[in-house]
Structure 1
Amino acid sequence: MIIAVVAVLVVIAVFAFGLVDIDQTRETALPEVKTEGGQMPAFDVDTADVDVGTTTETVELPKVDVDTTKEEVKVPTVDVEPTE
Protein backbone atom coordinates (compact mmCIF):
# COMPACT_ATOMS: atom_id res chain seq x y z
CA MET A 1 0.00 0.00 0.00
CA ILE A 2 2.82 2.38 0.87
CA ILE A 3 4.57 1.62 -2.42
CA ALA A 4 1.41 2.50 -4.36
CA VAL A 5 1.07 5.82 -2.52
CA VAL A 6 4.74 6.66 -3.14
CA ALA A 7 4.35 5.78 -6.84
CA VAL A 8 1.34 8.10 -7.16
CA LEU A 9 3.22 10.92 -5.42
CA VAL A 10 6.20 10.47 -7.76
CA VAL A 11 3.94 10.67 -10.83
CA ILE A 12 2.28 13.83 -9.48
CA ALA A 13 5.69 15.38 -8.75
CA VAL A 14 6.99 14.57 -12.24
CA PHE A 15 4.09 16.41 -13.85
CA ALA A 16 4.10 19.25 -11.29
CA PHE A 17 7.77 20.09 -11.87
CA GLY A 18 7.38 20.00 -15.65
CA LEU A 19 9.62 17.00 -16.20
CA VAL A 20 7.01 15.41 -18.51
CA ASP A 21 4.69 17.22 -20.90
CA ILE A 22 1.98 15.24 -22.74
CA ASP A 23 -0.10 16.82 -25.51
CA GLN A 24 -2.85 14.95 -27.32
CA THR A 25 -2.22 15.29 -31.06
CA ARG A 26 -5.21 13.37 -32.44
CA GLU A 27 -8.76 12.84 -31.16
CA THR A 28 -10.34 9.44 -30.67
CA ALA A 29 -12.92 8.36 -33.25
CA LEU A 30 -15.18 5.35 -32.85
CA PRO A 31 -16.00 3.26 -35.92
CA GLU A 32 -19.45 3.60 -37.41
CA VAL A 33 -21.65 0.52 -37.43
CA LYS A 34 -21.60 -0.04 -41.24
CA THR A 35 -18.02 1.05 -41.97
CA GLU A 36 -14.58 -0.13 -41.02
CA GLY A 37 -12.01 1.82 -39.18
CA GLY A 38 -11.88 4.05 -36.24
CA GLN A 39 -8.97 5.94 -34.83
CA MET A 40 -6.87 5.62 -31.75
CA PRO A 41 -5.73 8.85 -30.07
CA ALA A 42 -2.14 9.98 -30.60
CA PHE A 43 0.01 11.78 -28.05
CA ASP A 44 3.21 13.79 -28.33
CA VAL A 45 5.28 13.23 -25.17
CA ASP A 46 8.23 15.48 -24.32
CA THR A 47 10.44 14.53 -21.40
CA ALA A 48 13.08 16.55 -19.59
CA ASP A 49 16.75 16.32 -20.56
CA VAL A 50 18.81 15.04 -17.62
CA ASP A 51 22.60 15.34 -17.76
CA VAL A 52 24.51 13.44 -15.09
CA GLY A 53 28.23 13.99 -14.72
CA THR A 54 30.97 14.82 -12.28
CA THR A 55 32.76 17.99 -11.28
CA THR A 56 35.82 18.52 -9.12
CA GLU A 57 35.18 20.13 -5.74
CA THR A 58 37.35 20.74 -2.69
CA VAL A 59 35.92 19.13 0.44
CA GLU A 60 37.23 18.61 3.94
CA LEU A 61 38.24 15.03 4.71
CA PRO A 62 39.12 13.75 8.18
CA LYS A 63 42.66 12.55 8.85
CA VAL A 64 43.48 9.58 11.06
CA ASP A 65 44.89 11.93 13.69
CA VAL A 66 41.53 13.76 13.83
CA ASP A 67 42.77 16.69 11.74
CA THR A 68 41.02 17.70 8.52
CA THR A 69 42.48 18.64 5.20
CA LYS A 70 40.98 19.90 1.95
CA GLU A 71 41.32 17.62 -1.05
CA GLU A 72 39.77 17.68 -4.48
CA VAL A 73 37.35 14.84 -5.17
CA LYS A 74 34.84 14.18 -7.93
CA VAL A 75 31.23 14.69 -6.84
CA PRO A 76 28.17 13.90 -8.97
CA THR A 77 26.23 16.63 -10.75
CA VAL A 78 22.73 16.53 -12.23
CA ASP A 79 21.37 19.06 -14.73
CA VAL A 80 17.63 18.92 -15.49
CA GLU A 81 16.09 21.05 -18.24
CA PRO A 82 12.26 21.09 -18.01
CA THR A 83 10.20 20.70 -21.17
CA GLU A 84 9.14 23.83 -22.96
Structure 2
Amino acid sequence: MRQTAFILAGLVSAASIGLVGCDVQKTQEGNVTVPKYEVSKTQEGDVTLPKYDVDAPKVDVTTEKKEVEVPKVGVYTEKETLTIPKVEVTPAKDRDDDKVAEKK
Protein backbone atom coordinates (compact mmCIF):
# COMPACT_ATOMS: atom_id res chain seq x y z
CA MET A 1 0.00 0.00 0.00
CA ARG A 2 2.77 2.42 0.94
CA GLN A 3 4.73 1.58 -2.21
CA THR A 4 1.70 2.31 -4.40
CA ALA A 5 1.31 5.75 -2.80
CA PHE A 6 4.97 6.54 -3.52
CA ILE A 7 4.67 5.41 -7.13
CA LEU A 8 1.51 7.47 -7.67
CA ALA A 9 3.16 10.52 -6.12
CA GLY A 10 6.14 10.06 -8.44
CA LEU A 11 3.97 9.76 -11.53
CA VAL A 12 1.93 12.86 -10.64
CA SER A 13 5.08 14.90 -10.03
CA ALA A 14 6.61 13.65 -13.29
CA ALA A 15 3.49 14.65 -15.22
CA SER A 16 3.43 18.14 -13.72
CA ILE A 17 7.14 18.66 -14.33
CA GLY A 18 6.74 17.33 -17.85
CA LEU A 19 4.25 20.04 -18.73
CA VAL A 20 6.66 22.75 -17.62
CA GLY A 21 9.61 21.33 -19.57
CA CYS A 22 8.13 21.61 -23.08
CA ASP A 23 9.90 23.80 -25.62
CA VAL A 24 7.32 25.31 -28.01
CA GLN A 25 8.26 27.38 -31.05
CA LYS A 26 5.78 28.96 -33.47
CA THR A 27 6.86 28.09 -37.01
CA GLN A 28 4.14 29.81 -39.05
CA GLU A 29 1.68 32.63 -38.46
CA GLY A 30 -2.02 31.82 -38.66
CA ASN A 31 -4.59 33.54 -40.85
CA VAL A 32 -8.39 33.24 -40.70
CA THR A 33 -10.64 35.05 -43.12
CA VAL A 34 -14.27 34.04 -42.71
CA PRO A 35 -16.64 34.21 -45.66
CA LYS A 36 -19.13 37.09 -45.69
CA TYR A 37 -22.69 36.31 -46.70
CA GLU A 38 -25.65 38.43 -47.61
CA VAL A 39 -28.09 36.78 -49.95
CA SER A 40 -25.19 35.44 -52.00
CA LYS A 41 -21.56 34.80 -51.10
CA THR A 42 -19.41 37.91 -51.67
CA GLN A 43 -16.01 36.58 -50.62
CA GLU A 44 -14.28 33.19 -50.42
CA GLY A 45 -13.05 32.06 -47.02
CA ASP A 46 -9.41 31.33 -46.25
CA VAL A 47 -8.16 29.56 -43.14
CA THR A 48 -4.47 29.01 -42.42
CA LEU A 49 -3.82 27.68 -38.95
CA PRO A 50 -0.54 28.41 -37.15
CA LYS A 51 2.00 25.59 -36.98
CA TYR A 52 3.98 24.70 -33.87
CA ASP A 53 6.97 22.44 -33.27
CA VAL A 54 6.75 20.94 -29.79
CA ASP A 55 9.68 19.03 -28.33
CA ALA A 56 8.55 17.24 -25.20
CA PRO A 57 11.01 16.72 -22.35
CA LYS A 58 12.56 13.33 -21.70
CA VAL A 59 11.27 11.98 -18.37
CA ASP A 60 12.89 8.98 -16.68
CA VAL A 61 11.06 7.52 -13.68
CA THR A 62 13.00 4.88 -11.78
CA THR A 63 13.14 3.62 -8.22
CA GLU A 64 15.96 3.38 -5.75
CA LYS A 65 16.28 1.98 -2.26
CA LYS A 66 16.83 4.51 0.54
CA GLU A 67 17.03 4.00 4.26
CA VAL A 68 14.66 6.36 6.07
CA GLU A 69 13.41 6.65 9.62
CA VAL A 70 9.86 5.36 9.90
CA PRO A 71 7.91 6.04 13.08
CA LYS A 72 6.60 2.91 14.79
CA VAL A 73 3.89 2.58 17.39
CA GLY A 74 5.60 3.66 20.57
CA VAL A 75 8.21 6.30 21.30
CA TYR A 76 10.97 5.07 19.02
CA THR A 77 11.83 5.00 15.31
CA GLU A 78 13.72 2.42 13.35
CA LYS A 79 15.37 2.54 9.95
CA GLU A 80 13.60 0.75 7.16
CA THR A 81 14.54 0.37 3.49
CA LEU A 82 11.81 1.57 1.13
CA THR A 83 11.57 1.84 -2.64
CA ILE A 84 10.96 5.48 -3.56
CA PRO A 85 10.43 7.02 -7.01
CA LYS A 86 13.27 8.88 -8.68
CA VAL A 87 12.34 11.29 -11.48
CA GLU A 88 14.80 12.82 -13.93
CA VAL A 89 13.53 15.45 -16.39
CA THR A 90 15.65 16.79 -19.23
CA PRO A 91 14.01 19.88 -20.78
CA ALA A 92 13.50 19.66 -24.54
CA LYS A 93 16.05 22.39 -25.30
CA ASP A 94 18.75 20.46 -23.36
CA ARG A 95 18.06 17.06 -24.90
CA ASP A 96 20.61 15.72 -27.34
CA ASP A 97 18.87 12.70 -28.79
CA ASP A 98 18.46 12.12 -32.53
CA LYS A 99 14.94 13.62 -32.82
CA VAL A 100 15.97 17.03 -31.52
CA ALA A 101 19.22 16.98 -33.52
CA GLU A 102 17.32 16.42 -36.80
CA LYS A 103 15.08 19.47 -36.28
CA LYS A 104 17.94 21.92 -35.65
TM tier, smaller: 0.5 to 0.7
Aligned partner (choices 53, 77, 82) of residue 68 of structure 1: 77
2:68 is matched with 59
Higher strand share: 1
1:74 partner SS: strand
Separation (CA, whole Å) in 2 of partners of 1:65 and 1:76: 28
1:28 is matched with 30
Separation (CA, whole Å) in 2 of partners of 1:71 and 1:50: 28
Structure 2 unmatched ranges of 5 or more: 1-15, 34-42, 94-104
Aligned partner (choices 81, 86, 95) of residue 77 of structure 1: 86
Aligned partner (choices 40, 44, 53) of residue 44 of structure 1: 53
1:64 partner SS: coil
- TM-score, with length taken from structure 1: 0.56
Structure 1 unmatched ranges of 5 or more: 1-9
Q: Structure 1 pair 29/67, CA: closer, same or farther in 2 (3 Å)? A: closer
More moved, 46-55 vs 74-83: 46-55
Aligned residues: 68
Q: CA RMSD in A?
A: 3.1
Separation (CA, whole Å) in 2 of partners of 1:43 and 1:35: 26
Higher helix share: 2
- TM-score, with length taken from structure 2: 0.48
